[in-house]
Structure 1
Amino acid sequence: MNTNFPKNTILEDETVLLRPLLESDVENLLEISLNEPETWEYSLVRANVKENLENYIQIALKARENKTEFPFIVFDKKSGKYAGSTRFYDINLEFKTLQLGYTWYGKAFRGTGLNKHCKFLLLQFAFETLGMERVEFRADNNNQQSIAAMKSIGCKVEGVLRNHMPTFGSEVRRDSIVLSILRNEWFDAVKENLKRKL
């Protein structure tokens, strides 16, 4: 079991490359940030407009320094373009758990299979390199597209946290759905089922 999260982790296959997010990645993600406001519909931290994207990246990098999160930038090899970002967060190496989320892609990359490639690499790394016992996922319970994507990779619904979080620019609070994959589920079926979908 690793005691520290590897700093220069790069995950890749023939379709996608995930590398550590950098401050300079503002330029690589700016086009999506400026032109696709729907990307942030369910996000509490907006990354629309350059200033907000810079802030989003700074928050992610600070969390990496504190060893509670590990953010990646996603590069789509087929198009030769940066597609978005994702991260591990709430990393607890002692308990062998983490969450996988803060995932967003530009609209040109949604529905292309890119997400399944990313999730395969991230889950394989979490279970097979870091030795995690549980990987958790959360989403706004109204975000049907995200929930469907998580179920399609093999996540099991655990329940809904009612009135769990504030929502951006509103007094209405959101319910958060919680899903997960356990280590034995990954090795028993999820890994092979997801691999067949790649």
Structure 2
Amino acid sequence: MSHSSLIPAAEFALAPTMEYAGVRLEQLAPSHAPDLAEAVAAGRLDEAWFATTPSAQQMNANIAQRLASQAAGTMAPFAIIDTSTDKAVGATTYLNIDAANRRVEIGSTFLAVAAQGTGINPAAKFLLLRRAFEELGCYSVAFCTHWHNEASRAAIARLGARQDGVLRNHKYDPVTGTLRDTVVFSILPHEWPAVRTQLEARLRRHGRI
């Protein structure tokens, strides 16, 4: 995408409905809270000390916070819907939006334990990356995770993202009193075709396409 065809910055904070391989991403809304609270509670997802997944009790407030960030233009929050049940099984976002530099980060993601390993996550990532590169014309899509979140680091690497580096003592967590080392990965436009092919192969193995 050329500079002359770049779309308005406000477009980055929109969360349009996208569907592929039995997964639908749609604008996050308060109506998703019951499904998401159930998903978090069932898998005890909020108990991992190195993650920031909201508890079931915090879900309404977390959704409100994400929507406030969207209104400020810094986030585009999505609910992850399993089309076989039409239930929300997780949430994900574009965050730290930098429209001027055509850069977004994919993160603040959580997924029900029952949905993990089913192809739902790669389908959601496919939709987010396709929009980022093919619709928004991003120059870079970033992924950041805690150094101690080895499962997340491995999952990001499986996407085909390259590790840019580690930001040491990057964030302070007042809940645990610990400092987070953040591992930064990214995918660039010229890498997207190979990443797309790899994601499609994974979805075929899951029988989703």
TM-score normalized with structure 2 length: 0.87
Post-superposition shift, 1:165? 1.1
What 5-or-longer segments of structure 1 have no aligned partner? none
**1:95 paired to 2:101:** yes
| Matched pairs, number | 195
Secondary structure, counterpart of 1:29 in structure 2: helix
Post-superposition shift, 1:14? 3.2
What amino acid maps onto 1:29 in structure 2? Answer: L
What 5-or-longer segments of structure 2 have no aligned partner? 1-5, 204-209
Secondary structure, counterpart of 2:33 in structure 1: helix
Post-superposition shift, 1:59? 0.7
**1:70 paired to 2:80:** no
What amino acid maps onto 1:190 in structure 2? Answer: V
Paired position in structure 2 for 1:53: 59
Alignment equivalent of 2:185, drawn from 179, 187, 191: 179
Q: d(CA) in 2 for partners of 1:15 and 1:152?
A: 21
Q: Deviations over 1:112-156 (max 9, x none)?
A: 111110101100000000000100000001111111111111111
Structure 1's consecutive aligned runs of 4 or more residues displaced over 6 angstroms after TM superposition are: none
Secondary structure, counterpart of 2:77 in structure 1: strand
Aligned ranges 1:23-34 → 2 under 5 Å: 23-34=30-41
**1:164 paired to 2:163:** no
What amino acid maps onto 2:186 in structure 1? Answer: S
**1:193 paired to 2:198:** yes
Post-superposition shift, 1:28? 2.4
- Residues 71 and 87 in structure 1, CA contact (< 8 A), matched pair in contact too: yes
| Bigger shift: residues 168-177 or 80-89 | 168-177
Post-superposition shift, 1:15? 1.2
Q: Deviations over 1:37-63 (max 9, x none)?
A: 23452334x52132x111111110000
- Residues 15 and 77 in structure 2, CA contact (< 8 A), matched pair in contact too: no
Change (3 A) 1:159 1:95: same
- Residues 23 and 120 in structure 2, CA contact (< 8 A), matched pair in contact too: yes
Q: d(CA) in 2 for partners of 1:37 and 1:124?
A: 31
Paired position in structure 2 for 1:116: 122
Post-superposition shift, 1:191? 1.6
Change (3 A) 1:110 1:39: farther
Q: d(CA) in 1 for partners of 2:192 and 2:119?
A: 19
Aligned ranges 1:6-45 → 2 under 5 Å: 7=14, 9-39=16-46, 41=48, 42-44=50-52
Q: Deviations over 1:31-84 (max 9, x none)?
A: 12333323452334x52132x111111110000001110000000123442210
Q: d(CA) in 2 for partners of 1:194 and 1:39?
A: 27
Change (3 A) 1:35 1:102: same
- Residues 39 and 105 in structure 1, CA contact (< 8 A), matched pair in contact too: no
- Residues 36 and 56 in structure 2, CA contact (< 8 A), matched pair in contact too: no
- Residues 97 and 135 in structure 1, CA contact (< 8 A), matched pair in contact too: yes
Identity of paired residues, percent?
A: 30
Q: d(CA) in 1 for partners of 2:133 and 2:56?
A: 36
